[in-house]
Amino acid sequence: MRPCMRDYLRFILFILSLFFFAGNTMTATVAVCQQMPKDTAFKTKLLKRITEMLQFRKNAHRREQQRMITIVNGLFVDSLVATPAAIKYLNWALDNERSQNFGQLRQLLNDSLSKRKSDTVLVKATITDEEMTELAAKLIPLLKQKEAMIRNDTAQQQRLKTIRTLYSRPPDQVDTLRLNDTTGITYKIKLGHEAEVIGIQAKDNGDAYLNYNFTSLSYLSIAPPGPSKILTAASKGGCKTLLTLSAGKGLLQNEEQQFELVDSLLLALQDQEAAGVNVWFKDLKQNEREAFVRFVTILYNYLDHSAPGKYSVSITIPAYDKNKAYDLRELAPMVKYFLINFTEAPATVGSSDPLKGNNNYSIDAVVSRYVNQLIAPGQFIVMLPYDGIKWTGKSYSYVAYKDIKKAFPADTMINYDVTAASAYVEKMENGKTVQIWFNDPTTLDVKYDYVLRNGLGGVAICPLGADDGYGELWDELTDKFVVADTVWMDTVRLTPLPVKKLSLWTRIKLRFRHEIRAIHMLFHDPCGIRAENYASDEYFKYLTIFLFVCVVIIGVVYAYKVRMDGADWKWRQKVLYLFIGLIVLFGLSFTTSLMLAKRMPWLGLTDDPVECRNISLYNVLVVFLIGIVLGMILMRVFVFPLARKKDMP
């Protein structure tokens, strides 16, 4: 190896060693070759690029930092000299990787180079320019992926921040967007979904529901009778409810039992205000294929007849229908969604929901197989597991995500199967290698993108609460599926219109219409009148005062003339009729003023919407006129005869 190249490699390894011992901050003063060849400048830029990518912002991506420290430690613990074999092996390994990404590079360095397996491919003891150029061409795109990951993480946090600001926003709040100096448009903002998100409450997990983000869910699927506390929390979060229906023994062979079940199910739907049913029958046999279609037909027809269009029917189907028990073409017209269940363990060691790589169980293959039955992709919901699968040999058990997080510290090296888009960790138990396959934000990100990109109906997560205490899965779900939906309403003026000076006659006409509307409201909906609009109704107030003065004057004149002239006064009868008419008009005006101002609480005319009663002006007038008639009759029968007898000589 040339002296300049040796110094160059020692310089890089010295920088990496300082990074391992000092964390983020690396400062060093190193003597380099005084005359550096031109081709070395390119290599220096490459390795400088690598060292920069190994650095992280302060207090950010700490987990990734710890992983890279582990890699550096494993690679350079024995020596500060990078062997040519390491460079050759890295080139060879990258050539043989089918899907190259930054995570794969990280795993390759950790699993291969740190184990010093590269000595087997050592051909010669020098690193040629061609090898360095080849390595640069392969590494730089992978390092750019890391930059993209950081940018995407920043963008995700910004999107989540925007969505979270809407959590406490009143749903009916109206805002105005300025279009220009004089015009704006009003709008409302609400949270919606890119596709359906169904949460499966598969088991009782205590108070874990308190940590559910119901706003991120479209539906909550729960076995009836669902606990009222969970249903109430879901309703407040804007999440609809699906009742999960499981099969009883012999149900499909007993039609009478099916009708009884459907009848009780309708009562449960009404009682719990659910939006539909999720039929989840496990282990159906091939000879039950037609019976299952008949049962779904009975269920669909019964619900549709009882409440047309109100309740939906969804069916959970297996990822691999090995028994051919589901006739999807017959079921499709009656079913809103098919939930493809990827939570069951596969036949071989690995993930239960691989994206690709397994013809029977992978998401891509299963969706293609079902869609090819001429069913719209939007009818399929992909059910993804929040539980991991622990494989010990060929036996398996389920492990909740929260338990995996507790068992493996943050700096644990997580392996990723790029083809399956699944994560796994390994450990030794009783001398046996144990693998735990699970989903984390990285794998779910890929699978969520697949669902959205292929126009599927959405995702279902099962079971809810498996990640209790860890919020990263909720964050990933919210980022991918929850969107801020703007509802545009109307165009408005931002500046008031110029006030036009109205003529006296125009003002009288407008006021007259105002009073006519008030009278119309009094006859039809008195409680709909807003008191502040009529409390100072000067027209009826002044009319009442005017009529009262007229009643007093006419009454005094009538009494005086009758007293002085008696029956000889020729205007006596006409003035009496005028006096009675003024009294009636005064009573009408006075009553109308009180009703418009909501000042008759003893009759139920009040501003309190609870106490207010719709007693129309018509009823009040009827009572008022009946009182006047009764009064006149009493005057005629009792008062006038007594007055006449007193006046007789």
Answer yes or no: do 328 and 285 share one domain: yes
pLDDT at residue 488 greater than cutoff 50 = yes
Mean pLDDT in residue range 600-618: 65
Output the pLDDT for position 105: 52
Is residue 332 domain-shared with residue 460, that is, in the same domain?
A: yes
> What H or E segment, with its residue span, contains residue 519?
helix 504-524
Average confidence (pLDDT) over 2-27: 44
Residue 53 near residue 86, CB atoms below 8 Å: no
- Where do the DSSP E strands lie in 549-596? none
pTM value is: 0.59
The reply to whether 420 falls in a domain is: no
Last residue of a domain, one of 121, 149, 164: 164
Between 603 and 396, the more confident residue is 396
Same domain membership, residue 196 and residue 95: no
Residues 136 and 194 in one domain: no
Residue 336 pLDDT exceeds 90: yes
**CA atoms lying within 13 Å on the CB side of residue 472:** 11
The whole-number average pLDDT for the span 546-564 is 84
What is the amino acid identity at position 97?
E
Top pLDDT among 100 and 165 is at 165
Mean pLDDT taken over the chain:
75
pLDDT at 575: 82
pLDDT at 297: 94
Shared domain check, 296 and 199: yes
- Does one domain contain both 108 and 201? no
Is residue 593 a contact partner of residue 522, using CB atoms and an 8 Å limit?
no
**Residue 251's pLDDT band (cuts 50, 70, 90):** confident
Query: Is residue 184 domain-resident?
Result: no
Residue 499 lies in a domain: no
Question: What pLDDT is attached to residue 124?
Answer: 37
Task: Dump pLDDT digits (tens) for 612-624.
Answer: 776 777 777 777 7
The CATH number given to whatever domain includes residue 294 is 3.20.20.80
Mean pLDDT, to the nearest integer, of 380-390? 95
pLDDT, tens only, 187-227: 888 888 899 999 999 877 888 888 899 999 999 999 888 78
Interior angle at CA 236, CA 230 and CA 239, nearest 5: 75
Residue 414 within any structural domain of the chain: no
- The residue type at 260: E
According to the model, what pLDDT value does residue 484 have?
Answer: 84
**Partner residues linked to 488 by β-bridges:** 187
Query: Which is it for the CA torsion 115, 120, 126, 129, positive or negative?
Result: negative
Compute the distance between CA of residue 508 and CA of residue 134 in angstroms, rounded to an integer: 92
Kindly state whether residue 299 falls inside one of the protein's structural domains.
yes
Question: What DSSP designation does 501 have?
Answer: P
- How far apart (Å, rounded) are the C-alpha atoms in residues 354 and 22? 39
Tens of pLDDT, residue by residue over 84-98, are 555 555 555 555 544
Q: Is the pLDDT of residue 59 over 80?
A: no
3-state secondary structure of 538: helix
Query: Sheet holding 175-178: strands in order across?
Result: 175-178, 183-193, 482-493
Q: Is the same domain home to 511 and 480?
A: no
Q: Which helix (H) or strand (E) holds 521?
A: helix 504-524
Distance CA(558)–CA(565), nearest Å, equals 10
Mean of pLDDT values over 314-324: 92
In what helix (H) or strand (E) does residue 402 lie, and over which residues does it extend? helix 401-407
Please give the torsion angle defined by the CA atoms of residues 171, 174, 178 and 183, in that order, rounded to the nearest 10 degrees.
140
In whole angstroms, what is the distance from residue 308 CA to residue 503 CA? 58
Q: What does the pLDDT read at residue 331?
A: 95
- Average of per-residue pLDDT across 606-614: 65
Percent of the chain with pLDDT over 90: 26
Residue 608 lies in a domain: yes
Q: Are residues 551 and 471 in the same domain?
A: no
Amino acid present at 447:
K
| DSSP assignments along 220-247, one per residue | EEEPSSPPHHHHHHHHHTT-EEEEEEPP
Domain that holds residue 365: 190-386+440-491
Q: How confident is the model at residue 33 (pLDDT cuts 50, 70, 90)?
A: very low
Q: Is 357 left (phi over 0), alpha (psi -120 to 50) or beta?
A: left
Distances (CA, A) of 26 to 10, 18, 68, 245, 315: 15, 6, 15, 61, 58
Percent of the chain with pLDDT over 70: 69
Beta bridge partners of 190: 485
Q: Rounded to whole angstroms, how far apart are CA atoms 5 and 32?
A: 10
Number of domains in the chain: 3
Give the residue with greater pLDDT, 142 vs 245.
245
Confidence of residue 25 (pLDDT cuts 50, 70, 90): very low
pLDDT of residue 42: 46
Q: What pLDDT does 150 receive?
A: 66
Based on the domain organization, do 544 and 484 belong to the same domain? no
Over residues 136-141, mean pLDDT: 58
The region of weakest confidence among 173-187, 353-367, 517-531, 570-584 is 517-531
Confidence band (pLDDT; 50, 70, 90) for 391? very high
Is residue 147 included in any domain, yes or no? Answer: yes
In 10 A of CB 225, how many CB atoms? 11
Residues 359 and 215 in one domain: yes
Same domain, residue pair 202 and 160: no
Q: Is 61 a residue whose pLDDT tops 70?
A: no
Answer yes or no: is pLDDT of 378 > 90. Answer: yes
Cα–Cα distance list, 508 to 389, 515, 531 (Å): 82, 10, 22
> Is 179 part of a structural domain of the chain?
no
Hey, which residues does 25 pair with through a beta bridge? none
pLDDT over 50 at 5, yes or no: no
Calculate the CA 475 to chain-centre distance.
12
Instruction: Give the pLDDT band of residue 175 (cuts 50, 70, 90).
Output: confident
- Give yes or no: residues 581 and 460 share one domain: no
